[in-house]
Amino acid sequence: MGYTIAEIAAHTGLSAEGDLSLSVVRPSEPSDAARDELALAMSRQYEEAVAACQAQAAVLWPGADWKALGLKAALFAPRARVALAGITGMFEPALDLEPGIHPTAIIDPSAVLAEDCWVGPYTLIGPGVVIARGARIQSHVSIERGAQIGENAIIRAGVRIGRDVRLGARVSIHPNACLGADGFSYVTPEPGSVESAKTSGAVSDAGRNLSLTRIASLGSVEVADDVEIGASSCIDRGTVADTVIGRGTKIDNLVMIGHNVRVGETCMLCGHVGLAGSITVGDRVVLGGKVGVADHVTIGHDSVVAGGSLVGSDIPPQSVMLGVPAMPRGKAIEQIMAIRRLPRALEQLRELRQKMGL
């Protein structure tokens, strides 16, 4: 399905010039854009590529001379990635799922499903589950007892939703994510190796983990409206209180969120982030890829933690943190530069010792 330049401009709010009735079938990289495709060239660095491609229309940087580039029409993007979001959203394929309830789905008689929700093949819906209108559930999904699925939620293939998990409106969950598994919570009957290590810095003979007793997970998981959860990510249920994900937060693939964690609104948790139990993450926090956070830590509102950092203590609001252990960005860069200077400093010290006969 194609769109005219006029339709794209109206949907995205971008200004447009030229033949606005021109239709394009998909966006494309400028280096290989075909005649019926929309070249994405939102930066001047793509000027030569867009001039050489076959596309008749392109998305360009503000002030670009589209006629000189041989185009018949152009859209202009002051913020490239905002424009990209709007354009790709228009061309995104529809969810691969037929309307209605597939005959192979297994649905408990006590479950309540809105008339217009969709349920795919081999999906299992347990007792007392409530699925709101417009929800779309793909194949091989399991939804356990008492779970609630909000309006227009999208649950993709292979997702596992545990008992009593509550999803808000327009929540989007990608394949094989698991919400509501038990938390990783164990205790030793007598003080064990972890307690010994924390108090003395060593593991004594008397402080070994001779046995582990499981602490049951009686809480659940609550996911607010407009949250997106990536493929194969896991969110554990709380021990007594619920694990909570705030409105509008976006969670990447392969993210691990432990029991009793509370994540604020409009956060971004990138791939391989790991949150231990009982962490509090404020609103609008960004955690880069492979960030690890120790248990019971609080990360203040509007903070950014760079990828690969390890957070072991509380972070104040509006902090920019970097490194292992994570520290304020300026201090981390100073340490990195100091380490890089060490080889030269050691060489200078060696030369000085030789001159002094030491």
Same domain, 26 and 127: no
Write the pLDDT tens digit of every residue in 277-295.
999 999 999 999 999 999 9
In the chain, the N- to C-terminal Cα span, in Å, equals 80
What distance in Å separates the CA atoms of residue 180 and residue 175, rounded to the nearest whole number? 15
Asked if residue 101 is part of any domain, the answer here is no
**CATH at 43:** 3.40.1390.10
Same domain, 74 and 142: no
**Angle CA 101–106–108, to nearest 5:** 105
Same domain, 77 and 224: no
Its domain, for residue 53, covers 3-91
Q: Is the peptide bond before 325 cis (omega within 30 degrees of 0)?
A: yes
Question: Average pLDDT for residues 337-355, to the nearest whole number?
Answer: 88
Asked if residue 149 is part of any domain, the answer here is yes
pLDDT of residue 98: 79
Name residue, tokens 């293939």: 157
Average pLDDT across the chain, whole number:
94
Question: What is the gyration radius of the CA atoms in the chain, in angstroms?
Answer: 27
How far from 77 is each of 14, 44, 45, 86, 212, CA to CA, in Å?
Answer: 6, 12, 14, 11, 58
Name residue, tokens 């200004």: 15
Same domain, 75 and 118: no
Write the pLDDT tens digit of every residue in 210-261.
788 999 999 999 999 999 999 999 999 999 999 999 999 999 999 999 999 9
Same domain, 111 and 26: no
DSSP string for 176-234: T-EEEEPP--EE-SS--HHHHHHHHSS--GGG-----EEPP----EEE-TT-EE-TT-E
Q: Is the pLDDT of residue 78 over 90?
A: yes
Asked if residue 254 is part of any domain, the answer here is yes
Same domain, 68 and 204: no
Q: Find out whether 7 and 21 touch, Cβ atoms under 8 Å.
A: no
Asked if residue 67 is part of any domain, the answer here is yes
The Cβ of residue 354 has, within 10 Å, a number of other Cβ atoms equal to 9
Asked if residue 342 is part of any domain, the answer here is no
Asked if residue 199 is part of any domain, the answer here is yes
Choose the final residue of a domain: 37, 66, 91. 91
- pLDDT tier for residue 196 given thresholds of 50, 70 and 90: confident
Q: Is the pLDDT of residue 358 over 80?
A: no
pTM score, two decimals? Answer: 0.88
- pLDDT tier for residue 190 given thresholds of 50, 70 and 90: confident
Domain count, the chain: 2
Same domain, 83 and 28: yes
Q: What residues have CB less than 8 Å from 252, skipping those under 6 apart?
A: 230, 233, 268, 269, 270, 271, 273, 289
- pLDDT tier for residue 357 given thresholds of 50, 70 and 90: confident
Same domain, 136 and 45: no
pLDDT of residue 146: 98
Choose the final residue of a domain: 91, 122, 142. 91
**CATH at 110:** 2.160.10.10
Q: Is the pLDDT of residue 92 over 80?
A: yes
Catalytic member of 11, 102, 140, 259: 259
Same domain, 196 and 306: yes
Asked if residue 158 is part of any domain, the answer here is yes
Same domain, 199 and 55: no
Choose the final residue of a domain: 62, 91, 120. 91
259 is catalytic: yes
Asked if residue 267 is part of any domain, the answer here is yes
Same domain, 69 and 112: no
Q: Is the pLDDT of residue 301 over 80?
A: yes
Same domain, 189 and 75: no
